[in-house]
Amino acid sequence: MSRIIAVMAILIWAPVLLPIGGDAAEDGGPRPVCGDADAGDCFTANGTPGCSDAACCEQRCNQVPQCCEVAWDALCAQWALEFCSLCACVLDSECGDGRRCVDGTCAPIPTGGCCQCDGIDQFCEELTSSGCATAGGAYLGDGNGCDGGLLVVESCVDEFIFSIPDTISVKESFEIRDLEVQLLISHTWTGELCVTLEKRNGPSVVLVQRIGFDGQCDLSCCGCWSDHLNITLSDDATGGSIEEQCGWDPPALTGVFTPQEPLSVFAGLDSAGDWTLTVSDRKGSGDIGRLHRWALHLTIAAPDQPSCAAVSCACDGDLDDSGSVDIIDLLMLLAQWGSNPGGPPDFDGDGNVGIVDFLLLLANWGPCP
């Protein structure tokens, strides 16, 4: 009997005694997967062992080795939302995707419009400068979005929720064309939360009003049971109203939704001034949570912002603007062979369509880059 007990004890404790993922340092040092920039964000199910924030990763993997041994899944990410800091940092890798460490605080990497071509069709998407270069597009500049100038201002808070007011002071002054709000909140019963946004000496709107509860921001029970919010609120959202979202889908309710009250009341106002977000737990039933960060995405109404209009999807030799240099372009060049000052096929500008222009067209043969 004693031998059986001994074998059982070895089997029970084997996962603790063996190195995590076979790679853990034998002297108890940091696991190689923790703090690795390629490991992925700690606050999402990243699909890889461990995550990029070394301290958060080490703490969780000491408790649940599978988060480093197998994969950082939804439950690992849910724990990180509740117990790890999203604000303080030393390295960029601690801040997650799309963010970097600035003066000890995680901040979003600036983005702008990236003009790209799909054949002869042009399209634009919001990317970082390096992301646009990788895509081979034309970058409009930090803060110059696809639909006009874009100012993103963020507050990283990491404070426990009772009734938290947090204020962002916007220094830049311009007329607001559109406004979106990003929220990252960990809370174990989102149906208890009310979130409002107010501009000093301006309007106030209710963004979230006790999800799943058909009532006001009062102290009655109970609302949606799901945990955590990682959402963007926009009047143009196609994901439905935030009030209709409730589901058991850790680590957080994510997506783009319409707010409880429209943000269009801020359109036409001056952006400068204090913007205050208030998050309150209206039930106080013992469920806890933190406001991690929130951000304003302010679109500038000024018409003179850089745009993709000046970016052409045609290329040298593409005389018919088809998105590629082909036999049609060659025939168009041959049809204008000879003296043709300033004509489209006169690529070298010497006043004649000749052998040099012919060779330049052939050098660009095929789809435009």
Read off the pLDDT of residues 308-327 as tens digits, 9 standing for 90 and up. 877 777 777 888 877 788 99
pLDDT over threshold 90, residue 154: no
Own/partner long-range contacts of 198-203 (Cβ < 8 Å, ≥24 apart) = 198/275, 198/276, 198/278, 199/266, 199/269, 199/273, 199/274, 199/275, 199/276, 200/273, 200/274, 200/275, 200/276, 201/273, 202/266, 202/269, 202/273, 203/265, 203/266
pLDDT over threshold 50, residue 26: no
Taking residues 40-62, what's their average pLDDT? 86
| Banded pLDDT at 27 (limits 50, 70, 90) | very low
| pLDDT for 161 | 60
Place of tokens 């990788």: 134
pLDDT over threshold 70, residue 76: yes
| Banded pLDDT at 289 (limits 50, 70, 90) | confident
Gap between the Cα atoms of 105 and 156, Å rounded? 8
Closest to 225 in 3D by CA, of 193, 185, 191: 191
| pLDDT for 182 | 92
pLDDT over threshold 80, residue 272: yes
| pLDDT for 283 | 60
Q: How many CA atoms lie within 13 A of 43 on its CB side?
A: 25
pLDDT digits (tens, 9 = 90+) for 178-236: 999 998 887 777 777 888 999 999 999 999 887 766 656 655 566 666 677 888 999 99
**75: Cα separation from own chain's centroid:** 21
The more confidently predicted of residues 68 and 89 is 68
Closest to 154 in 3D by CA, of 293, 299, 41, 276: 293
| pLDDT for 119 | 63
Gap between the Cα atoms of 249 and 195, Å rounded? 21
**149: Cα separation from own chain's centroid:** 18
Contacts of 71 (CB under 8 A, 6+ apart): 45, 46, 47, 48, 49
227 forms beta bridges with none
| pLDDT for 6 | 39
| pLDDT for 223 | 64
pTM score, whole prediction:
0.63
| Banded pLDDT at 4 (limits 50, 70, 90) | very low
Taking residues 290-307, what's their average pLDDT? 80
| Banded pLDDT at 287 (limits 50, 70, 90) | low
Residue 90's CB is within 10 A of a number of other CB atoms, namely 10
Q: Do the strands 229-233 and 253-257 form a parallel or antiparallel pair, or are they unpaired?
A: parallel
Lowest mean pLDDT, pick from 27-41, 254-268, 287-301, 302-316: 27-41
Taking residues 239-245, what's their average pLDDT? 79
Question: What average pLDDT does the structure give for the chain?
Answer: 79
Q: What is the CA radius of gyration of the chain?
A: 28
| pLDDT for 301 | 75
pLDDT over threshold 60, residue 285: no
Share of the chain above pLDDT 70, in %: 79
Domains defined for the chain, CATH in brackets: 18-84 (no CATH), 149-300 (2.60.120.260), 314-367 (1.10.1330)
Share of the chain above pLDDT 90, in %: 23
* Amino acid at position 346, single letter: D
pLDDT digits (tens, 9 = 90+) for 77-110: 888 877 887 787 778 877 767 788 888 888 888 8
| pLDDT for 213 | 63
| pLDDT for 234 | 95
Gap between the Cα atoms of 207 and 295, Å rounded? 13
Place of tokens 């340092």: 25
Measuring CA to CA, how many Å separate 78 from each of 185, 198, 295, 304? Answer: 11, 30, 21, 44
Gap between the Cα atoms of 282 and 305, Å rounded? 43
Report whether 195 contacts 253 (CB < 8 A).
no
| pLDDT for 302 | 66
User: Which phi and psi (to 5°) does residue 119 adopt?
Assistant: 70, -125
- Asked if residue 56 has a cis previous peptide bond (ω within 30° of 0), the answer is no
> b/e for 281-292, b at 16 or more Cβ within 10 A?
bbbeeebebbbb
